[in-house]
Chains A and B, each alone.
Chain A
Amino acid sequence: MSATGKRRQRPSTLGRRGFLAAGVAAGASLTAPHVLAQGHGRPRVVVIGGGAGGATAARYIARDSKGEIAVTLVEPSRAYFTCFFSNLYIGGFTGLEDIAHTYGTLAAKYGINVVHDWAIAVDRDARAVTLAGGAVLPYDKLILSPGIDFVEDAVPGWSVAAQNAMPHAYKAGSQSELLKAQVMAMPAGGTFAMVAPPNPFRCPPGPYERISMVAHVLRQVNPTARILLIDPKETYSKQTLFELGWEQHYPGMIERIGPDFGADKLRVDPVAMTVDIDGMVEKVDVCNVIPAQQAGRIAHLAGVTDGRWAPVNAADLSSKMDPDVHVLGDAAAQGDMPKSAFAANSQAKVCAMAVRGALTGSRMFPARFANTCWSLIAPEDGIKVGGIYAATPDKIATVGGSISDTGEDRATRKATYEESVGWYAGITADMFG
């Protein structure tokens, strides 16, 4: 089976515009490569958000289309701080500079047009994205991977204006640094409080790994300190594994208040530094508020959300509202996958394959997805939960899974931690080249 044979069979799956663009690009590549280099006539993909989903999608499309597709990546930050391993930074297992990544290789080696700006509007009829700086980027396919924004008034008393007094550290970088500094500055015997978010939210084990890392630090520098976990959920990811680990490593330090004790009736005061749990007011020294979440704002502005998230088709992550828009990662309502970097990276590769297929007639393959989320409870005590997934007509559906055992020996836990370090190197290389 030749690629051209496939291309002949597939025009019906291409939009009229996409097909013409593909034909022009393929013809041009034979006769006038210099025209290509200037970016004329090639099908155009614009990716909004240079995180786990967006950077991966941009890199795979550029790498595999070998210049046939013009890829533009819009990302305001010049350095992306990974949320993954930002808890390990708080725990002292890695430096802030070790979780920072830049976009130079994507531009230099893969020819991606990296634009450091915010997308502020999407005109789906004109197929164009407007940037805060005023530029307009036309596209044939648009990929949105903007991550999350917080739901306003989700935690009464808290707002983004108060995030310096009560950090979320759920977008990494200066917030992570701030939270760590606050933990280190706690008075002896002081109280660290976390307000955990309701489902669904990015990184289901993330808040509980953070509790572990804060406990690890406090045990060393402030052993009489107290940790208060205020959680509106009945249960959470890897709960038994975390709670057994806390009993073992940090006995008596962590108290969890669930919805049965009013954690769902909460108000915070960032000036007085108090939390009011169903009428019981506590003075705290650090308050890490992780509010309820929704798709990044640009997904809402693009009109591809239904409620808080953007519904997508499982086979190619295309929006249920527009076949020329794809939504990846945390922002997407896709089915069973957790909102993780691993999942966003996995979805990006399926999306990249499908977008290339649609624009250039390259071969298409059935979607398949995977995820593994590691968490560190204490030094060399790593746990993980993983799943594999397939596309069904209505969602990305789980087809298998695995989770660490409660009775594992120390060697296994150590190996699990070491594996997570390997994964960090792997996924960041897969995202940024």
Chain B
Amino acid sequence: MARGPLMILCLAAILAAGFSRVGAAGDVELGQYLAGECLGCHMADGSDHGIPSIIRLSEADFVMALNAYRDGLRAHRVMQMIAGRLSESEIAALAAYFGGLE
């Protein structure tokens, strides 16, 4: 069976994906899935055609912005609605994923 080498390869992939990102405590794979919801509006290439880029924000600013929408401290109905259902760990996952995009 090819299981042995496969496992090693997968572990290597996970290590590369999960730990090579400095400061990324969040679950990158979860972040990638959740990011699907954001990328209908925010451009993956970081350009701004009327909706701000979110890929070059620092992780702290990213988390702060989502918390501000979630807590109603920053006004924007749609972002409030979207941030409103994100848990702490989901926000961390998103921060980890977007932090790794370039």
Contact = CB atoms under 8 A, between A and B. Distances in A.
Nearest to B30: A365
**Most A-side CB within 10 Å, residue of B36, B44, B77, B84:** B36
Interface stretch (B47-55, B57-65, B66-74): B47-55
A4 B49 contact: no
A368 interface: yes
- Chain A: number of interface residues, binned into ranges: 35 or more
Contacts of B80: 402
A60 B44 CA distance: 13
Contacts, number: 105
Nearest to B78: A386
A358 interface: no
**Most A-side CB within 10 Å, residue of B2, B41, B48:** B41
A154 interface: no
Contact of A402 (B48, B51, B78): B78
A430 B33 contact: no
Interface string A33-56: 000000000000000000000000
B87 to A, nearest CB: 12
Contacts of B39: 426, 430
B6 interface: yes
Given A3-B13, A388-B81, A419 B40 contact: no
Contact of A345 (B10, B29, B40, B85): B40
- Chain B: number of interface residues, binned into ranges: 35 or more
A148 to B, nearest CB: 21
Contact of A346 (B3, B30, B37): B37
Interface stretch (A24-32, A209-217, A259-267, A313-321): A24-32
Looking at chain B's contact residues, the main secondary structure is helix
Interface in A161-185: none
A427 B1 CA distance: 42
B32 to A, nearest CB: 7
Given A30-B5, A400-B84, A422-B49, A64 B40 contact: no
Given A3-B14, A4-B10, A349-B36, A421 B78 contact: no
Contacts of B77: 386, 402
B43 to A, nearest CB: 5
A426 B41 contact: yes
Contacts of A2: 7, 10-11, 14
Interface string B8-33: 01110110000000000000011011
Interface in A362-391: 363, 365, 368, 370, 372, 384, 386-388
A399 interface: yes
22 contacts: A2-B7, A3-B14, A4-B11, A23-B2, A27-B6, A30-B6, A349-B33, A353-B36, A363-B30, A365-B34, A370-B40, A386-B81, A387-B81, A388-B85, A400-B85, A402-B78, A402-B80, A421-B50, A423-B51, A424-B49, A426-B40, A429-B44
Interface of A: 2-4, 23, 26-27, 30-31, 60, 64, 342, 345-346, 349-350, 353, 363, 365, 368, 370, 372, 384, 386-388, 399-402, 418-427, 429-430
